Amino acid sequence: MANQEEFFKKVVAHAKEYGFIFPSSEIYDGLAAVYDYGQLGVELKNNIKQYWWKAMVQMHDNIVGLDSAIFMHPRIWKASGHVDAFNDPLIDNRDSKKRYRADVLIEDHIAKIEDKIKKEVDKAHKRFGEAFDREQFVSTNARVVEYQKQIDDIRNRYAECMNANDLAGLKQMILDLEIVCPVSGTRNWTDVRQFNLMFATKMGSVIDDSDTLYLRPETAQGIFVNFLNVQKSGRMKVPFGIAQIGKAFRNEIVARQFIFRMREFEQMEMQFFVRPGTELEWFKYWKDERLKWHLSMGMPAEKYRYHDHEKLAHYANAATDIEFEFPFGFKELEGIHSRTNFDLGRHSEFSGKKLQYFDSELNESYTPYVVETSIGVDRTVLAVFSHALHDETLEDGSTRTVLSLPAKLAPYKVAVLPLVKKDGMPEMAHDIVERLRPQMMVQYDEKDAIGRRYRRQDAIGTPLCITVDSDSTNDNSVTVRHRDTMQQERVSIDNLQGYISANI
Ligand code: GAP
């Protein structure tokens, strides 16, 4: 745990030091749970968004994009259920005066038990070596079975309280589990209350007469209310999808863990409209497809797992999370939900407009069912960035910090470095930069010794460094150094573009 915390601190510090992510409004002491993306962070984030857009929109005949406004008619949030039910259960500790989400206190308690299971598994793995069968151990070891039972009991009791909106029961759980405030160490808790997460604002020049608007807490509703516009103008046939990337806002009670839980963040959402009765097949399709997308970025399979929801929201008939192993454990990165015809049905009811589709093959009209995929951009940045960051000890005993980002996501694809600032090397390097620039992000760097420049590029994740040296002007070749292996190759400038394309 201590190591994980140390590592997470390093992630945050590295992101700031190298211009990926800054605390918002820092010179005014920051704004809690709001962050700015710096010169490299914006490149990484844009690359992730483009990668998602390409996979969802460009690669599918039947998925189109949308960019709906953040401000929407206030009744939309009544129809969607957010005004009445987009709440988190909140609890205060009277001694520390700190505020917590009751469900997060319980999840943290579960994480401690999971940690104990992990320790038992690691111990046994060491003892049995190669022959270790994890599945068998977990299902038969008495201690692990008991820990797992504790977790299941807690989850069941929690779900019962939430389904019954039993806030007193939730507080009793916190007392029974002997959960203490991490700051004061006491169990002096207030009652649990519901807290709505939407930010409200006013529209119009005369504030008194104006309507209360909400900053959208998800981009999905912008898609639902444009269902007919897109379907008709795009002549879309069910099954089809509408994809959108955009900002969402939630007044999170517990805002910690860096860009994992923010008050202003970005989502990449896709609503897939299908024939009633086919939604569970499509749910399975998107569940598989979305995990494949994560892996296709070059991320390892063992960092991901599904978490199928046993207790479903009243409008859903299947739901799963794709969880990622962040530096603080496995947590939700993406949600895939089969939302039935709930949203279109509610908007029909509240707007008075029929949101239906005429299916010419069936010769009937119906309200399509919806399978949703919803992923946070910032959580994806954190997943990719934290997985990529590591320290390495080299053969000569020195260390280097490397950000092994998948090349397709790296802010700069190549850096061009003249070995020294004379003998025509800077001119030749500039010339290479100008040639490569139309195709990719390139950085020119001539400051400091070449070793330090390599380290700087390693730390920001640049996959290839191109060095122009004293031979380059004679043989029209450069040295290309690979970030991860540090191997170097001599490449003719005429072949440079092809070489780079094959290697990033
Ligand atoms: N339309 C469905 C929906 O919004 P969600 O599970 O509440 O579902 C989807 O959010 C995704 O948005 C999450 O899996 C997560 O990646 C991201 N997300 C949600 N709240 C967030 C927050 N406060 N900060 C950063 N990302 C968040």
- From ligand 1's centre to the CA of 376, what distance in Å? 6
Q: How many CA atoms lie within 13 A of 84 on its CB side?
A: 7
* Integer Cα distance of 96 and 185 in angstroms: 9
pTM of the model: 0.89
Which CATH code for domain 87-195?
3.30.40.230
Q: Give φ, ψ of 297 to 5 degrees.
A: -75, -10
Shortest-distance Cα residue to atom 7 of ligand 1: 218
Q: Whose CA is nearest to atom 21 of ligand 1?
A: 261
What's the CA-to-centroid distance between 284 and ligand 1, angstroms?
20
Query: Probe ligand 1: pick from 66, 265, 294, 377, max atoms within 8 Å of CB?
Result: 265
Query: Closest by alpha carbon to 47, among 331, 298, 372?
Result: 298
Phi and psi torsions of 7, nearest 5°? -65, -40
- Ligand 1 centre from 152 Cα, in Å? 24
Question: Could you give the 3-state DSSP secondary structure of residue 183?
Answer: coil
Substitution candidate for ligand 1 out of 332, 370, 377 with most atoms within 8 A of CB: 332
Residue 399 tokens read as 């260390």
Q: How many angstroms separate the Cα of 334 from the Cα of each of 7, 161, 181, 478? A: 23, 25, 29, 43
Q: Is the peptide bond before 463 cis (omega within 30 degrees of 0)?
A: no
pLDDT band at 210 (very low <50, low <70, confident <90, very high): low
What local confidence, expressed as pLDDT, does residue 120 receive? 95
Three-state DSSP state, 464: strand
Cβ–Cβ under 8 Å, residues 272 and 287: no
Q: How far is the CA of 40 from the centre of ligand 1 (A)?
A: 23
Read off the tokens for 427.
């001119």
In 102-221, the DSSP E strands lie at 193-196, 200-202, 212-214
| Rounded distance between C-alpha atoms, residue 370 and residue 83, angstroms | 22
Q: What is the pLDDT of residues 271-283, one digit of tens each?
A: 999 999 999 999 9
| pLDDT 10s digits, 231-242 | 999 999 999 999
Return the ligand 1 atom nearest residue 332 CA. Answer: 14
CATH 3.30.930.10 fits 2-86+197-386, yes or no: yes
Which H, E and C letters describe 81-121, residue by residue? Answer: CHHHHCEEEEEEECCCCCEEEHHHHHHHHHHHHHHHHHHHH
pLDDT of amino acid 455: 97
CA–centroid distance, residue 296 to ligand 1 (Å): 22
Give residue limits of the domains in the chain. 2-86+197-386, 87-195, 412-503
Question: d(Cα 103, Cα 261) in Å, to the nearest integer?
Answer: 14
Pocket probe for ligand 1: among 268, 286, 374, 377, the residue whose CB has the most ligand atoms within 8 Å is: 374
Q: In this prediction, what percent of the chain has a pLDDT beyond 90? A: 91
How large is the greatest C-alpha to C-alpha distance in the chain, in angstroms? Answer: 80
Span from the CA of 379 to the centroid of ligand 1 (angstroms): 9
Confidence of residue 205 (pLDDT cuts 50, 70, 90): low
Q: Whose CA is nearest to atom 18 of ligand 1?
A: 376
Ligand 1 atom nearest 255 alpha carbon: 23
Q: How far apart are the CA of 210 and the centre of ligand 1, in A?
A: 29
pLDDT at residue 460, rounded to an integer: 98
- Ligand 1 environment, Cβ below 6 A: 218, 220, 250, 252, 261-262, 265, 267, 269, 332-335, 372, 374-376, 378-379
Asked whether residue 1 carries a pLDDT value surpassing 60, the answer given is no
At 135-159, the pLDDT tens digits run 999 999 999 999 999 999 999 999 8
Q: What class, spelled out in words, does domain 412-503 have in CATH? A: alpha beta
Predicted confidence at residue 207, as pLDDT, reads 56
* Topology match between the domains 2-86+197-386 and 87-195: no
CA-nearest of 428, 421, 334 to 372 is: 334
End-to-end CA distance of the chain, in Å?
35
Q: How far does residue 334's CA lie from ligand 1's centre (Å)?
A: 7
Can you tell me the distance from the alpha carbon of 374 to that of 4, in angstroms, rounded to the nearest whole number? 27
Q: What is the pLDDT of residues 396-436, one digit of tens each?
A: 999 999 999 999 999 999 999 999 999 999 999 999 999 99
- The 10s digit of each residue's pLDDT in 85-109 is 899 999 999 999 999 999 989 999 9
Mutate to test the pocket of ligand 1, among 199, 218, 291 (most ligand atoms within 8 A of CB): 218
Ligand 1 mean position to 271 CA, how many Å? 15
What is the pLDDT, as a whole number, of residue 445?
A: 98
pLDDT tens digits, 244-279: 999 999 999 877 799 999 999 999 999 999 999 999
Q: Which of 219, 267, 294, 305 to mutate to test ligand 1, by most ligand atoms within 8 A of the CB atom? A: 267
The pLDDT value given to residue 166 = 93
For β-strands 240-249 and 264-274, DSSP reports them as antiparallel
Specify whether the CB–CB gap between 60 and 41 falls below 8 A: no
Average pLDDT along the chain: 95
- Half-sphere exposure (CA, 13 Å, Cβ side) for 227? 26
